[in-house]
């Protein structure tokens, strides 16, 4: 079998995003797909443009048989620039695209020169496609007959005679069959922490999210044994490196077709924590979970024992009227207590708020700001509502004629790209990015939060309730670092925001 040269590129975002300087990690899709091929002896190189040390080696691209490009919505324009550059450098290469944006905008991707688009998950389709590719007489001259043979591969889109073709949705994959992604394939990448994916999907269906459209109304999860195997693999490679479980919702319920709970999210998380403790793999872990876990002190206790020191939580909104749009998952009267429960167990919080829902006004932004200060939430991400492709929100707003533009670079949660209900687009942009963000990330608040966290841990140590004080104290330092990065980022995005306000003036009917 001929050994293939495969270059894969994760496109970067053009502007700063809230994680630019802190969470500079690749997504795990490309390493997951290429790890088995690397093990078979193919020459696989991944470049993650977001990392200064992982810039594309164009000599490698010139020699590649296959170039893979991965993108989310805000990086799509950059991905298309990359396609054009690849064509110049290596006209013979076959260009593949995948990821959440291309899944929903596959025609756009094909029109922009991508040869094959992989829709939804590519864990089967990519390898079936590769068999097909390797069976071709001349991969540089793919004929219509060759393309016809592709209709049996599910989850694929391609052009035949300038017409886009899309095959059926891919069949489900057992997450236990995923290989552990080997990040050594990402050139120049020295991880500060590892992103570990242990599941796919979510049991909620928030209007603004594309997770159901991407993965189905399902939750598929890796078994505890496999998760422990993954952690062990990274520990052996990188020592006691922090691990961020990047699942959209690590503690989602697994439901059957009648939407009855088969495995509760709490039980799954409990098993993983116990597995970590039993295997002696405690360390610094973080994850994305629901705030409602705050009602399960025994589970929070177990999480703390395993070393979970931070939880990223979708707080979404402080307005109860927005509950439907946020998947009906929040109990507004309990938010404060649930937040305090995480804190009592030494777990810091990264709160993800969304602003711009139907009930939101400038007062909502102020109220949100006040509450996150009152509840002493360590770090807060104020995201502007974005109608991303694949989300029910996008469908609704398009129907209502409220989407202002499709300049994908601006679909990053930092720009208003639609006409909100009760507030002007510019008003929302100013309230969130120019008014609220600098208030959250001011230096006084930063030191207040830092001191408060340390005092809390000290109290937990004195009352013998802190299983891993060192991890907790280190986590407070992490909070300090994140907040300082936030302070710097907020100042840097100001110029861009002022410019964007001018752009909005052209679009928005309700200029404030």
For ligand SF4, the binding residues (CB under 6 A) are 202, 204-206, 209, 211, 248-249, 314, 327
Choose between 105 and 457: whose C-beta lies nearer to ligand B12: 105
Residue 205's binding partner among ligand SF4, ligand B12, none (Cβ under 5 to 8 angstroms by kind) is: ligand SF4
Choose between 255 and 279: whose C-beta lies nearer to ligand B12: 255
Residue 72's binding partner among ligand SF4, ligand B12, none (Cβ under 5 to 8 angstroms by kind) is: ligand B12
Choose between 28 and 323: whose C-beta lies nearer to ligand B12: 28
Q: Tell the smallest beta-carbon distance from residue 50 to ligand SF4 (Å).
A: 22
Q: Which residues contact 236 (CB under 8 A, 6 or more apart)?
A: none
Residue 126's binding partner among ligand SF4, ligand B12, none (Cβ under 5 to 8 angstroms by kind) is: ligand B12
Choose between 44 and 269: whose C-beta lies nearer to ligand SF4: 269
Residue 249's binding partner among ligand B12, ligand SF4, none (Cβ under 5 to 8 angstroms by kind) is: ligand SF4
Choose between 354 and 436: whose C-beta lies nearer to ligand SF4: 354
Residue 96's binding partner among ligand SF4, ligand B12, none (Cβ under 5 to 8 angstroms by kind) is: ligand B12
Q: Tell the smallest beta-carbon distance from residue 146 to ligand SF4 (Å).
A: 38
Choose between 103 and 249: whose C-beta lies nearer to ligand SF4: 249
CA distance 428 to 249: 28
Q: Tell the smallest beta-carbon distance from residue 166 to ligand B12 (Å).
A: 15
CA distance 435 to 420: 18
Choose between 181 and 327: whose C-beta lies nearer to ligand SF4: 327
CA distance 100 to 127: 19
Give burial (CB, 10 Å; 0-12/13-18/19+) of 87: middle
Tell me the Ramachandran region of residue 66: left when phi exceeds 0, alpha when psi lies from -120 to 50, beta otherwise.
beta
CA distance 415 to 502: 12
CA neighbor of 349 nearest in space, from 483, 196, 242: 483
Q: Tell the smallest beta-carbon distance from residue 326 to ligand SF4 (Å).
A: 7
Residue 5's binding partner among ligand SF4, ligand B12, none (Cβ under 5 to 8 angstroms by kind) is: none
Residue 294's binding partner among ligand B12, ligand SF4, none (Cβ under 5 to 8 angstroms by kind) is: none
Choose between 291 and 312: whose C-beta lies nearer to ligand B12: 312
CA neighbor of 432 nearest in space, from 477, 334, 366, 492: 366
Q: Tell the smallest beta-carbon distance from residue 288 to ligand SF4 (Å).
A: 8
Which 8-state DSSP code applies to residue 250? T
Residue 430's binding partner among ligand SF4, ligand B12, none (Cβ under 5 to 8 angstroms by kind) is: none
DSSP codes of every residue in 3-53: PPEEEEEEPPPSS--TTTTT-----SHHHHHHHHHHHTT-EEEEEETTSGG
Residue 317 φ/ψ, nearest 5 degrees: -150, 150
Q: Given the rule CB under 6 A, which residues bind ligand B12?
A: 13, 17-19, 23, 25-30, 32-33, 50, 68-70, 72-75, 96-101, 118, 121-123, 126, 195, 197, 209-211, 246, 248, 383, 388, 412-413
CA neighbor of 105 nearest in space, from 464, 457, 408: 408
Q: Whose CB is nearest to ligand B12?
A: 29
Residue 224 φ/ψ, nearest 5 degrees: -55, -45
Residue 79's binding partner among ligand B12, ligand SF4, none (Cβ under 5 to 8 angstroms by kind) is: none
Q: Tell the smallest beta-carbon distance from residue 256 to ligand B12 (Å).
A: 22
Beta carbons of 227 and 211 less than 8 angstroms apart = no
Per-residue burial over 285-310, b = 16 or more CB atoms within 10 Å of its CB, e = otherwise: bbbbbbbbbbebeebbbbbbbbbbbb
Residue 104, token pair as written in the block: 């929903």
Q: Tell the smallest beta-carbon distance from residue 80 to ligand SF4 (Å).
A: 26
Q: Tell the smallest beta-carbon distance from residue 53 to ligand B12 (Å).
A: 14
Q: Within 10 Å of residue 204's Cβ, how many Cβ atoms?
A: 20
Choose between 368 and 457: whose C-beta lies nearer to ligand B12: 368
Please state the three-class secondary structure of 95-123 as a single string.
Answer: EEEECHHHHHCHHHHHHCCCCEEECCCCC
Q: Tell the smallest beta-carbon distance from residue 287 to ligand SF4 (Å).
A: 13
Choose between 457 and 479: whose C-beta lies nearer to ligand B12: 479
CA distance 197 to 250: 9
* Helices assigned H by DSSP within 64-200: 76-89, 100-104, 106-111, 125-135, 144-148
Residue 99's binding partner among ligand SF4, ligand B12, none (Cβ under 5 to 8 angstroms by kind) is: ligand B12
Q: Tell the smallest beta-carbon distance from residue 115 to ligand SF4 (Å).
A: 31
Instruction: Tell me the chain's radius of gyration from C-alpha atoms.
Output: 23
């Amino acid at each position: 079998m001929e050994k293939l040269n495969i270059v894969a590129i994760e496109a970067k975002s053009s502007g700063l995003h809230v994680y630019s300087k802190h969470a500079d990690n690749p997504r795990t899709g490309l390493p997951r797909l290429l790890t088995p091929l690397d093990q078979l002896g193919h020459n696989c190189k991944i470049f993650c443009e977001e990392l200064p040390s992982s810039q594309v080696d164009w000599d490698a691209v010139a020699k590649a048989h296959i170039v893979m490009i991965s993108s989310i919505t805000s990086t799509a324009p950059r991905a298309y620039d990359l396609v054009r550059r690849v064509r110049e450098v290596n006209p013979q290469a076959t260009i593949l695209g995948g990821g959440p944006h291309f899944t929903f905008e596959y025609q756009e991707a094909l029109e922009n020169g991508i040869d094959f688009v992989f829709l939804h998950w590519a864990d089967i389709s990519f390898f079936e496609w590769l068999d097909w590719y390797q069976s071709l007489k001349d991969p540089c001259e793919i004929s219509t007959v060759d393309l016809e043979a592709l209709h049996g591969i599910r989850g694929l889109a391609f052009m035949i005679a300038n017409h886009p073709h899309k095959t059926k949705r891919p069949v489900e994959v057992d997450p236990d069959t995923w290989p552990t992604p080997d990040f050594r394939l990402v050139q120049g990448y020295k991880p500060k922490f590892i992103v570990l994916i242990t599941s796919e999907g979510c049991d909620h269906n928030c209007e603004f999210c594309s997770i159901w459209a991407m993965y189905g109304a399902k939750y598929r999860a890796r078994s505890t044994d496999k998760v422990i195997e993954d952690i062990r693999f990274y520990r052996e490679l990188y020592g006691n490196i922090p691990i961020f479980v990047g699942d959209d919702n690590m503690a989602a319920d697994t439901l059957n077709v009648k939407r009855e709970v088969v495995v509760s999210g709490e039980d799954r998380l409990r098993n993983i924590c116990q597995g970590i403790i039993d295997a002696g793999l405690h360390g610094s872990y973080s994850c994305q979970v629901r705030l409602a876990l705050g009602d399960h002190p025994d589970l929070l206790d177990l999480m703390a024992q395993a070393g979970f020191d931070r939880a990223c939580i979708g707080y979404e909104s402080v307005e109860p009227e927005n509950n439907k749009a946020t998947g009906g998952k929040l109990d507004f009267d309990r938010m404060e207590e649930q937040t305090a429960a995480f804190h009592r167990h030494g777990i810091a919080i990264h709160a993800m708020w969304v602003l711009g829902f139907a009930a939101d006004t400038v007062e909502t932004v102020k109220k949100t700001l006040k509450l996150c200060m009152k509840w002493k939430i360590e770090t807060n991400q104020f995201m502007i509502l974005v109608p991303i492709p694949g989300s029910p929100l996008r469908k609704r707003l398009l129907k209502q004629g409220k989407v202002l533009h499709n300049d994908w670079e601006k679909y990053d949660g930092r720009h208003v790209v639609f006409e909100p209900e009760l507030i002007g687009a510019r008003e929302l942009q100013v309230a969130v990015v120019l008014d609220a963000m600098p208030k959250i990330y001011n230096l006084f608040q930063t030191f207040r939060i830092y001191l408060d966290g340390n005092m809390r841990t000290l109290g937990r140590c004195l009352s013998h309730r802190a299983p891993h004080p060192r991890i907790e104290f280190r986590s407070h330092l992490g909070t300090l670092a994140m907040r300082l990065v936030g302070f710097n980022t907020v100042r840097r995005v100001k110029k861009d925001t002022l410019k964007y306000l001018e752009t909005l003036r052209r679009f928005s009917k309700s200029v404030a």
